Amino acid sequence: MKITTKKWDASEYLDSPEMIHEYLKAAFEEGDSELLMIAIGNVAKAKGMSEIARETNLSRQNLYKALSANSSPKFETVKKVIEALGCKLAIA
């Protein structure tokens, strides 16, 4: 019997606003900017990268690149994506 596996994809499990909130919160609290960008990318993928691209006026290709590991996107890009995800940036 052959066992098949596939790469785990966090975006497949981000199916509620509560789950998305907790996922982003946990990634932010880690203090690792690369991890946070990957988490934002996973949420964008779960919501639909085409929809996020439309709402931010950025191309899908640029979004995938900006939200990948080892990327350094502009703050403006991050802000647009966060807002398109229905979230807000705040300092408390």
Query: What are the tens digits of pLDDT across the range 20-46?
Result: 989 999 999 999 988 998 999 999 999
Q: Where are the domains of the chain?
A: 17-84
pLDDT for res 60: 92
Tell me the two tokens of residue 50.
């085409």
**pLDDT below 70 — which residues of the chain?**
none
Q: What is the pLDDT of residue 42?
A: 94
Q: For position 6, what pLDDT does the model report?
A: 87
The confidence score (pLDDT) of residue 45 equals 92
d(CA 82, CA 88): 6
Residue type at 33 in one-letter notation? S
Instruction: State residue 34's pLDDT score.
Output: 87
pTM: 0.84
Q: Are 41 and 65 in contact (CB under 8 A)?
A: no
